[in-house]
Protein backbone atom coordinates (compact mmCIF):
# COMPACT_ATOMS: atom_id res chain seq x y z
CA UNK A 1 0.00 0.00 0.00
CA UNK A 2 1.30 3.44 -0.92
CA UNK A 3 2.27 5.88 1.81
CA UNK A 4 2.22 9.67 1.46
CA UNK A 5 5.54 11.25 2.47
CA UNK A 6 5.34 15.07 2.70
CA UNK A 7 8.41 16.93 1.40
CA UNK A 8 7.21 20.48 2.11
CA UNK A 9 3.98 22.36 2.93
CA UNK A 10 2.36 21.60 -0.43
CA UNK A 11 4.03 18.53 -1.94
CA UNK A 12 4.43 14.85 -1.12
CA UNK A 13 5.77 11.67 -2.73
CA UNK A 14 3.89 8.35 -2.71
CA UNK A 15 5.90 6.24 -5.18
CA UNK A 16 9.58 6.88 -4.43
CA UNK A 17 11.12 4.84 -7.23
CA UNK A 18 14.48 6.44 -6.49
CA UNK A 19 14.86 4.16 -3.44
CA UNK A 20 14.66 0.36 -3.85
CA UNK A 21 14.20 -0.11 -0.12
CA UNK A 22 11.02 1.94 0.32
CA UNK A 23 9.24 1.83 -3.05
CA UNK A 24 6.67 -0.80 -3.92
CA UNK A 25 7.73 -1.99 -7.39
CA UNK A 26 5.01 -4.68 -7.37
CA UNK A 27 2.29 -2.02 -7.78
CA UNK A 28 3.62 -1.19 -11.29
CA UNK A 29 3.08 -2.97 -14.60
CA UNK A 30 4.72 -2.33 -18.00
CA UNK A 31 2.25 -2.80 -20.88
CA UNK A 32 3.53 -2.94 -24.47
CA UNK A 33 1.69 -3.00 -27.80
CA UNK A 34 3.03 -5.45 -30.39
CA UNK A 35 6.16 -6.56 -28.53
CA UNK A 36 7.15 -8.15 -25.28
CA UNK A 37 10.81 -7.14 -25.06
CA UNK A 38 10.49 -4.31 -22.57
CA UNK A 39 11.86 -4.08 -19.07
CA UNK A 40 11.17 -2.07 -15.94
CA UNK A 41 14.29 -2.23 -13.80
CA UNK A 42 14.79 -0.47 -10.50
CA UNK A 43 18.22 1.04 -9.94
CA UNK A 44 19.66 2.80 -6.93
CA UNK A 45 18.14 6.20 -7.81
CA UNK A 46 15.40 5.56 -10.40
CA UNK A 47 13.49 2.98 -12.39
CA UNK A 48 14.46 2.61 -16.02
CA UNK A 49 11.90 1.51 -18.59
CA UNK A 50 13.12 0.10 -21.91
CA UNK A 51 10.76 -0.74 -24.77
CA UNK A 52 10.94 -1.00 -28.56
CA UNK A 53 7.12 -0.86 -28.82
CA UNK A 54 5.68 2.15 -30.62
CA UNK A 55 3.20 2.51 -27.74
CA UNK A 56 3.86 1.37 -24.19
CA UNK A 57 2.39 2.23 -20.81
CA UNK A 58 3.34 2.15 -17.17
CA UNK A 59 0.37 1.41 -14.91
CA UNK A 60 0.22 1.81 -11.14
CA UNK A 61 -2.53 0.06 -9.21
CA UNK A 62 -2.96 0.61 -5.52
CA UNK A 63 -5.01 2.49 -2.98
CA UNK A 64 -4.20 5.95 -1.73
CA UNK A 65 -6.44 8.41 0.15
CA UNK A 66 -5.23 11.82 -1.02
CA UNK A 67 -5.82 13.76 2.25
CA UNK A 68 -6.07 17.29 0.88
CA UNK A 69 -3.92 16.84 -2.22
CA UNK A 70 -5.61 17.53 -5.56
CA UNK A 71 -2.86 17.21 -8.19
CA UNK A 72 -0.62 14.36 -9.36
CA UNK A 73 2.99 15.14 -10.26
CA UNK A 74 5.64 12.88 -11.77
CA UNK A 75 9.40 13.30 -12.09
CA UNK A 76 10.93 11.59 -15.12
CA UNK A 77 13.19 11.92 -18.12
CA UNK A 78 12.63 10.61 -21.65
CA UNK A 79 13.85 11.55 -25.11
CA UNK A 80 12.23 14.12 -27.45
CA UNK A 81 10.88 11.37 -29.76
CA UNK A 82 8.44 10.26 -27.08
CA UNK A 83 5.08 11.85 -26.31
CA UNK A 84 3.54 11.25 -22.88
CA UNK A 85 -0.14 11.19 -21.92
CA UNK A 86 -1.54 10.32 -18.52
CA UNK A 87 -4.77 9.29 -16.85
CA UNK A 88 -5.79 8.58 -13.25
CA UNK A 89 -8.71 6.78 -11.63
CA UNK A 90 -10.01 8.77 -8.65
CA UNK A 91 -13.17 7.82 -6.74
CA UNK A 92 -13.88 5.23 -9.44
CA UNK A 93 -13.81 7.66 -12.41
CA UNK A 94 -11.03 7.99 -14.99
CA UNK A 95 -9.61 11.49 -15.47
CA UNK A 96 -7.19 12.81 -18.10
CA UNK A 97 -4.09 14.32 -16.50
CA UNK A 98 -2.19 15.52 -19.58
CA UNK A 99 -1.90 14.79 -23.31
CA UNK A 100 1.16 14.62 -25.59
CA UNK A 101 3.88 16.10 -23.41
CA UNK A 102 7.14 15.97 -25.34
CA UNK A 103 10.28 14.58 -23.72
CA UNK A 104 13.57 16.46 -23.66
CA UNK A 105 17.17 16.36 -22.62
CA UNK A 106 16.50 17.11 -18.96
CA UNK A 107 14.05 15.73 -16.38
CA UNK A 108 10.50 17.08 -16.49
CA UNK A 109 7.59 17.16 -14.02
CA UNK A 110 4.35 16.35 -15.86
CA UNK A 111 1.47 17.47 -13.66
CA UNK A 112 -2.27 16.83 -13.87
CA UNK A 113 -5.19 17.89 -11.72
CA UNK A 114 -7.96 15.30 -11.94
CA UNK A 115 -9.70 16.49 -8.79
CA UNK A 116 -11.89 19.55 -8.43
CA UNK A 117 -11.61 20.33 -4.71
CA UNK A 118 -8.76 19.61 -2.35
CA UNK A 119 -11.16 19.21 0.60
CA UNK A 120 -13.03 16.24 -0.91
CA UNK A 121 -12.18 12.74 0.28
CA UNK A 122 -10.41 11.32 -2.75
CA UNK A 123 -9.21 7.79 -3.37
CA UNK A 124 -6.58 7.22 -6.07
CA UNK A 125 -6.61 3.60 -7.26
CA UNK A 126 -4.75 3.77 -10.57
CA UNK A 127 -2.70 5.93 -12.87
CA UNK A 128 -1.42 5.15 -16.35
CA UNK A 129 1.43 6.88 -18.13
CA UNK A 130 1.20 6.25 -21.88
CA UNK A 131 4.33 6.69 -23.99
CA UNK A 132 4.11 7.06 -27.77
CA UNK A 133 7.25 6.76 -29.89
CA UNK A 134 6.43 9.55 -32.37
CA UNK A 135 9.55 8.86 -34.44
CA UNK A 136 8.33 5.33 -35.11
CA UNK A 137 11.81 3.84 -34.69
CA UNK A 138 12.20 0.24 -33.59
CA UNK A 139 15.19 0.89 -31.36
CA UNK A 140 14.55 0.59 -27.65
CA UNK A 141 13.42 3.78 -26.00
CA UNK A 142 14.44 4.61 -22.45
CA UNK A 143 12.36 6.34 -19.79
CA UNK A 144 13.86 7.21 -16.42
CA UNK A 145 11.15 7.42 -13.76
CA UNK A 146 12.14 8.84 -10.37
CA UNK A 147 8.93 9.36 -8.40
CA UNK A 148 5.18 9.94 -8.41
CA UNK A 149 3.88 12.57 -6.04
CA UNK A 150 1.07 14.87 -5.02
CA UNK A 151 0.48 18.61 -4.80
CA UNK A 152 -2.06 20.55 -2.76
CA UNK A 153 -2.64 23.47 -5.12
CA UNK A 154 -4.26 25.58 -2.39
CA UNK A 155 -1.01 25.34 -0.35
CA UNK A 156 1.45 25.87 -3.21
CA UNK A 157 2.19 29.46 -2.12
CA UNK A 158 3.42 28.13 1.24
CA UNK A 159 6.34 26.31 -0.35
CA UNK A 160 7.88 29.49 -1.79
CA UNK A 161 11.04 30.36 0.04
CA UNK A 162 11.32 26.91 1.62
CA UNK A 163 13.75 24.14 0.85
CA UNK A 164 12.43 20.72 -0.03
CA UNK A 165 13.67 17.75 1.94
Which CATH number is 48's domain given? 2.60.120.260
Evaluate whether residue 113 is within a structural domain. yes
Per-run averaged pLDDT (10 residues), the chain, 165 residues: 86 85 81 87 85 92 89 93 94 94 91 71 92 83 92 81 55
Evaluate whether residue 159 is within a structural domain. no
Instruction: Put the strands of the sheet holding 93-102 in their side by side order.
Output: 28-32, 55-65, 123-133, 82-90, 93-102
Evaluate whether residue 1 is within a structural domain. no
Evaluate whether residue 163 is within a structural domain. no
**136 lies in which domain range?**
11-148
Q: In the chain, how many domains are there?
A: 1
Evaluate whether residue 76 is within a structural domain. yes
Q: What pTM was computed for the model?
A: 0.89
Evaluate whether residue 6 is within a structural domain. no
Amino acid sequence: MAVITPINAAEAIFAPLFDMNISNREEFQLIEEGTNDGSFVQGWDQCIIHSSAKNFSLKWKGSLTLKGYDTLRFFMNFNPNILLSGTAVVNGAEHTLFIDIKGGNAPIEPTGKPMKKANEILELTEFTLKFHNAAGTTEKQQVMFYWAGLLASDREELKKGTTSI
